[in-house]
Structures are given as C-alpha cells and as structure tokens.
Amino acid sequence: MPPPLLTLDGILLTFGGAPLLDGAELSVSAGDRIALVGRNGSGKSTLLKVAAGLVEPQDGKVFRHPSATVRYLPQMPDMDGFETVRAYVEAGLGPADDPHRAAYLLDHLGLDGEARPDTLSGGEARRAALARVMAPEPDILLLDEPTNHLDLATIEWLEEELVRSSSALMLISHDRRFLERVSRATVWLDRGRTRRLDKGFSHFEEWRDTILEEEEREQHKLGRQIVREEHWLRYGVTARRKRNMRRLGELQTMRQAFRAHRGAEGVATMAASDAAESGKLVIEAKSIAKSFGDLKVVDDFSIRIQRGDRVGLVGPNGAGKTTLLKMLTGELEPDSGSVRLGVNLDIATLDQKRAVDPNETLAHFLTDGRGETLLVNGEERHVVAYMKDFLFKPEAARTPIRELSGGERARLILARVLARPANLLVLDEPTNDLDMETLELLQELITGFPGTVLLVSHDRDFLDRTVTSVIAPDGAGRWIEYAGGYSDMLAQRGGAKLEDRKAQARAPAPEKAVERQPKAAAKKLSYKQKFSLETLPGRMEAVTTSISTLENQLADPSFYEKNPASFAKTIAALEKERQTLSAMEEEWLELEMLREELEG
C-alpha cells in the first residue's frame, strides 16, 4: 500500500457547544477515491478545509507530504483581482503544468474565458473554480459539492474525467450516482468522529445502518446493566454490610458513559401541507412555443398532466427547462399555442435562485414575520416546534440565516415551501445541498404526495426514484416526454446520454461492415440480392409501424406504474426493432449502391 500523501490524526475543533470535530482521522494515499459523507452541519466542509490547510484545528496533527500538490474546491469561490475567467483558471497552474489543459476545461465546462468574473452567475463561478483546481492535475483534489449547478451532461463528463484522473480524490456530494461511479472508499463523519469503509459509496448505507443498530444494542445493554448494578447497591446483602467501592466506581463510570453518549442525529419530519384536491386535469399545453430573439427555446410542445403525475424536466443548462416550467404553470406566456390550468390549483414553488435575506432570522423567515406561530395543515404550530421537524435546534430560532451551512439553508427554504398548502409542487433543483438522509425523506414525500409534482433536477438517482415521466430536449426547441425515470428515458433513446445526441447527429456514418462486391466480379445482381432489394422496403415499413406502436405504448405515463415488468419488456422489444430496422436500412443501401454500380 502506498504511503499516505495526507493524514489527519485526532482533529479537534469546537465552535461552542458540542465539538464539531472530536478526534477525527483521515488518510489519503495516491490513487484514493474517497467519498466524504455525513449530515448537513456535521462538519464535512470544515474537515475538508482542515485537510486543505485553510482551517487550523484546536488539537490534533496534520501531515501533508512536502512534495504533494493539493487543490481545494470551495463552495463559494473568490474571484476578486482577476480580469478574465481565463486568468483566474490559469492562476491555478504551476510552472510545469500544461496551459492547454485550462482551455480544455473551460470549453468542456461551457465557460467563456474572456468573460469578466464579476459578470458570472453563481453556477458559472463554481464551474470556473472547478476548472482552476483540475487544471494542474494535482496529487490531491479536495472537492466540495463539485456537481452543484452542473447540468446532467456536464456531470456525466466530470465523472469520466475524474475516473481517468491520476489525482487522489476526496469529495463531498449529494449526488448518489456520481459518488457510486467515482468513489472507491467512504469516510463517514458522524458526531465529530470519522469511520472509514474501504468500499465505494454504493455499500455505505448498509454499512452505516449496521453500525447504528449495533450501537443502539450496546447502549441498551449498558442501560440495563446500570439498572442491575443500582439494584444491587440498594438491596444486595453485601451492599448493606459494606460498600463495594470498586463496583460503585464501575457504576459511576457506566453512568458517565451513558450520559456522554451522543445518539445518532435525528431524522427530519417532512410533510407537505395538504390543500383541497385539484381537478383531474392539472395542466394542458397545446403546441406551445417560445423564442428569445433568434433562439428557439420551445417549439410546438404539447402535454396533458393529470392529478398524481410526477413529471421531471432534464437537459443541459440553457436548454430552457425553467422557461418551459414557467409556461406550464402560467407564470410565462407562450409566443404561440395555449396553456390551460385545471381548477382548484394551489401551487407551492421552490425556485432555483432561492433568494433570502442573510440577516433575517430563521423564525422570522418561516413565519414571514407574523409572530411566533405558523399554520401547517390547518393546525397552528409554534415556529420552534416546526423547526425541530427539520432538525433545527430551538436556540437557532434567533440565528441569522447567514450563519447556516449551504445544506441547512436548503433545508430551511424547503421547510418554508412545504408549510404552504399545495396540491401542485413546483420544485426547481430541490436536491441542491441536501444531505442523503434529507434527500431520502424528500423522495418519500414526493412519491407519496397526493397532488401533482413538476420538478427540474440534474440528480439521476433522484429522478429514477421519484418521477413517473421525464421531459427532455431533442434539439432546436423540441421537447419529448418519456415514461418512467431518467434511466428509462435513456433506454428509450437507445442508451444515448444527453450530451451524445448532438454529437451523434454531427458524426459521420461509420464504415459499413458489409464488403461491396467489386464491379468486375459480377455483371448483375444475384437472385437473392434482387429479391432482398425488392422486398426490403416493405419489410422496413412493417418494422417502422411496429416501432411506432411500441413508442405509443411507452408514451403512456401510467404504463410504468401499472406494469413495470411489461414496461421493461416493451423497451427491450423497441430496442430490438430499432436495431433490426437499422440493419435493414444498411443492407438496402449497400444493395442499391451495388445495383447502381453494375448498371452504371
């Protein structure tokens, strides 16, 4: 095993109250791919900053190999002092690093190198910071939420880039599929301490649950043992004659251990406030279109969304997901076509910007400044009690929002949205900054919500677990609805990832495997070739009709929910028919070209 490039040993860090880091340990060696996981506010970002040398611990040892280069991706990059994005990115390069690497990363992350940093959106600034830390290909990459504000195509590209990278990685992310793809080891930060599993994130949850169950059993056994010892001290014959001081000391030690035990972090209680049931038809859009100047964002799109549907929108940044979402909910008028909203709609919206006043307190934010209570599901609740449902401590009620971590802020905004009575939830990037446990609860809430859900997300696993259909772009403003989740959409598109679609359209046709018969070798087509040339058009038409029938079956959003097994068989049959049609087309083209040569 290679010697470690970075080690943290016995790290202690306290910001008042219980220690944030209490004896945390960490080791990073060449080739490591470590997922750092834990609850929001557990200290993951702080531990990463300690590893990067940006925060000094109050106790413990930090070792970095003298020759090792370390690059850290912060959640909030500082770009002051740089005239262009390119200058900011290239400033991360060392004397021996390849300057072309910076240009490559700027291009693949969709950034204009000549843009001024102060004109960038928050998402663009984070992508620029990602390019800066990856450009020098350091020995150790420390990445804090690298997938935030990236679209699906860029996330999939980043996965491939990190898998190929020679850098050791330690990363924090809420994107399950990203972690499963990239990680080979998992470090769990829990109640100030770290535990390491030398397996990727896909094995984490089972391992975590086993540890917590064992811990609960041990704590229960300790409690029962204390009860037995106390009974002995009160009623034992020996105890009445003479105190057994050794046994009394052991009891005191057990009591201290029992009181000092910090139980597992609580679980948020997440539920949407119910509104009256909407009509069966929630949204009907007919041939809607929207352009901004010469850019056609939506072109001739139609859809019917009914009560209970859970629809996900995916696509690259700038494709028009938010624009389409706003048209569907009536917030934005289409240039042409029509949108009809159903009756009795109560809409709760989580927008992408999530603008908040950083100086506002948590209690004031949740109640809109209307005292100490808020109405949730028709019941008046004290704001502190409602905050507890979302894992905020009572003393945090007067805390300014600026003091919260990114994940805690996301949870607070979600708490406010869910307090509003709604039968239509509109969620634009709801998963950003949420920890795994809160994500699981949000998934359960969405799948069990009696109303209708529209959501935009770049989280593939989240989409697979929540939505009944996916709307995805197909170029030139065209949008197509697919039944099922993100993986089902890929299967229906022939397995092509989102970033592959345009590339496939531009790519030249591959060389045909069929060898052409030289002109000199034959004077005319064989009987078999002539028969195939004559019959292939009819056979291709039949297969095309079959494909159309299968596609119509899959277009039914309820098909997947009613019969998942039949849905999977239909996808497999569709893929087989497409392959058959492709082979027929190639054969017909070869024969037609051969016929022209022979007759020419």
| Calpha distance 214→201 (Å, rounded) | 20
Higher pLDDT, residue 351 or 133: 133
Q: Which of 32-41, 165-174, 257-266, 578-587 has the lowest mean pLDDT?
A: 257-266
- For 405, list phi and psi in degrees, rounded to 5: -75, 170
Q: In this predicted structure, what is the pLDDT of residue 255? A: 64
Are residues 339 and 327 in contact, defined by beta-carbon separation less than 8 angstroms? yes
Q: Given a cut of 80, is residue 248 above it in pLDDT? A: no
The pLDDT of 311-317, averaged and rounded, is 89
Cβ pair 479, 501 in contact under 8 A: no
Q: CA–CA separation, 314 vs 511, rounded Å?
A: 33
> Residues of the chain with pLDDT > 70: what percent?
85
Q: State residue 503's pLDDT score.
A: 43
Lowest mean pLDDT among 88-102, 105-119, 495-509, 529-543: 495-509
Give residue 150's identity as a one-letter amino acid code. L
Q: Largest Cα–Cα distance of the chain, in whole Å? A: 120
Q: What is the amino acid identity at position 136? A: P
pLDDT the model gives residue 240 = 43
Note the pLDDT of residue 595: 78
| pLDDT exceeds cutoff 60 at 325 | yes
Cβ-contact 267, 257 below 8 angstroms: no
Q: Dihedral angle at the C-alpha atoms of 209, 213, 216, 222, nearest 10 degrees?
A: -140
Least confident of 251-260, 352-361, 378-387, 515-524: 515-524
* Residue whose C-alpha is closest to residue 441's, from 399, 489, 400, 391: 391
Reading the block at residue 546, the tokens are 């079959």
**CB-based contact 272:425 (threshold 8 Å):** yes
- Contact between 102 and 38 under an 8 Å Cβ cutoff? The reply is no
- The count of other CB atoms within 10 Å of the CB of residue 83 is 10
How far apart CA 137 and CA 587 sit, in angstroms, is: 47
pLDDT value of residue 146? 92
- Model pLDDT for residues 533-557, shown as the tens digit of each residue: 777 888 888 888 888 888 788 777 7
* Highest mean pLDDT (candidates 95-104, 166-175, 246-255, 402-411): 166-175
pLDDT surpassing 70 at residue 283 = yes
Selection from 60-69, 393-402, 517-526, 541-550 with the highest mean pLDDT: 60-69
Distance of alpha carbon 537 from alpha carbon 540, whole angstroms: 5
Q: What is the pLDDT of residue 330?
A: 92
C-alpha–C-alpha distance, residues 538 and 532, integer Å: 10
What gap in Å lies between CA 215 and CA 263, rounded to an integer? Answer: 9
DSSP 255-301: HHHHHH--PPPP-----PPB-PPPPSEEEEEEEEEEEETTEEEEEEE
Q: Is residue 34 a contact partner of residue 28, using CB atoms and an 8 Å limit?
A: yes
Confidence of residue 128 (pLDDT cuts 50, 70, 90): very high
Summarize the confidence of residues 11-21 as an average pLDDT. Answer: 83
pLDDT tens across 332-378, in order?
A: 999 999 999 998 888 888 876 666 788 889 888 888 888 888 878 77
348's tokens: 């709760």
412-438: per-residue pLDDT in tens?
888 888 888 888 999 888 887 777 777
In whole angstroms, what is the distance from residue 518 CA to residue 419 CA?
75
Q: Which two tokens stand for residue 64?
A: 């970095």
pLDDT of 67 over the 80 cut: yes
| Sequence letter at residue 507 | A
Report which of residues 291 and 371 the model is more confident about: 291
pLDDT for position 576 = 83
Higher model confidence: residue 265 or residue 217? 217
**In this predicted structure, what is the pLDDT of residue 516?**
35
**What phi-psi label fits residue 353: left (phi over 0), alpha (psi between -120 and 50 degrees) or beta?**
alpha
Q: What are phi and psi of 373, to 5 degrees?
A: -130, 160
| Token digits of residue 385 | 């009690």
Distance CA 365, CA 129 (A): 31
Alpha carbon distance 348, 490 (integer Å):
30
- Distance (Å, whole) CA 489 – CA 463: 11
Q: Which two tokens stand for residue 351?
A: 């927008």
Closest CA to 61 of 34, 36, 26: 26
Closest CA to 205 of 16, 461, 411, 21: 461
For residue range 23-42, what is the model confidence (pLDDT) as tens digits? 999 999 999 999 999 887 78
Q: At what angle do helices 122-134 and 152-164 cross, to 10 degrees?
A: 10
> What DSSP string runs through 29-67?
ETT-EEEEE--TTSSHHHHHHHHHTSS--SEEEEEE-TT
| Residues 204-237: b if buried by 16+ CB within 10 A, e if exposed | beeebeeeeeeeeeeeeeeeeeeeebeeebeeee
- Residue range 281-492 in CATH 3.40.50.300: yes
Residue 470 has pLDDT above 70, yes or no: yes
pLDDT tens-digit readout, 184-225: 999 999 988 999 999 999 999 889 888 888 888 877 777 777
Which stretch of 51-65, 83-97, 169-183, 554-568 has the lowest confidence by average pLDDT?
Answer: 554-568
Pure H helices in 436-563:
436-448, 460-466, 486-492, 500-506, 527-554, 559-562
Give the class (CATH, top level) of 508-599: mainly alpha
C-alpha 327/C-alpha 440 separation (Å) is 29
Sheet holding 4-13, edge to edge: 21-29, 4-13, 59-64
Question: With a threshold of 0.75, does the pTM exceed it?
Answer: no
- The letter for the amino acid at 274 is D
| For residue 250, pLDDT beyond 70 | no
**Residue that wins the pLDDT comparison between 236 and 569:** 569
**Both tokens assigned to 377:** 């599901």
pLDDT the model gives residue 275: 63
Residue 498: its pLDDT value, please?
53
pLDDT at position 12 is 94
pLDDT of residue 506: 34
H or E element, residue 249: helix 245-260
Give the model's confidence band at 513: pLDDT under 50 very low, under 70 low, under 90 confident, else very high. Answer: very low
Alpha helices in 370-473 (DSSP H): 383-389, 406-419, 436-448, 460-466
CA 112 to chain centre: 25
Averaged pLDDT, 572-583: 81
Question: How high is the pLDDT of residue 505?
Answer: 34
Tokens of 338: 């029509």
**Count of CB atoms within 10 A of residue 473's CB?**
21
Span 390-408, average pLDDT: 82
121, pLDDT greater than 80? no
pLDDT at 307 over 50: yes
CB–CB of 559/553 below 8 Å? yes
Q: Which carries the bigger pLDDT value, residue 121 or residue 117?
A: 117
**In the chain, pLDDT over 90 holds for what percent of residues?**
34
Q: How confident is the model at residue 229 (pLDDT cuts 50, 70, 90)?
A: low
Question: For 4-206, which CATH superfamily applies?
Answer: P-loop containing nucleotide triphosphate hydrolases (3.40.50.300)
How much is the pLDDT for 243?
Answer: 52
Coil, strand or helix at 241? helix
Among 81-95, 383-397, 457-471, which stretch is predicted with the lowest mean pLDDT? 383-397
Residue 306: pLDDT band with limits 50, 70, 90: very high
When pLDDT is cut at 50, 70 and 90, the band that residue 502 belongs to is very low
